[in-house]
Amino acid sequence: MLCKNYYVYIMSNKKYGTLYTGITNNLIRRIYEHKESLIDGFTKKYKIHQLVYYEIHEDIHEAILREKQIKKWNRAWKINLIEQNNPQ
């Protein structure tokens, strides 16, 4: 059986700028959509084009729960998560 991956990701418009948390089953396509402003909404409005963090999940329900968890976090927790895994 083919295992499908789901990605929870965080994007930003600049270092310490606006953060956006999302979920997708195709990270490359989704990041392209954000970078090219193909979808109206938050990321287009704030020009959020830089992937700063992602994690892989095999179960869609776990990925959704994780996305919701991260979205509830305060900014400092999100930045800490990003810097632990992507110190640049």
DSSP codes of every residue in 32-84? HHHHTT-S-SHHHHTT--EEEEEEEESSHHHHHHHHHHHHHS-HHHHHHHHHH
Over residues 65-82, mean pLDDT: 98
Residue 2 has pLDDT above 90, yes or no: no
Q: Could you read off the pLDDT of 4-20 as tens digits, one per residue?
A: 999 999 999 988 799 99
Contacts of 41 (CB under 8 A, 6+ apart): none
pTM of the model: 0.92
Residue 1 has pLDDT above 80, yes or no: no
Q: What's the pLDDT at 40?
A: 92
Cα gap 88→77, rounded to integer Å:
17
Q: Could you read off the pLDDT of 13-62 as tens digits, one per residue?
A: 988 799 999 999 999 999 999 999 998 999 999 999 999 999 999 999 99
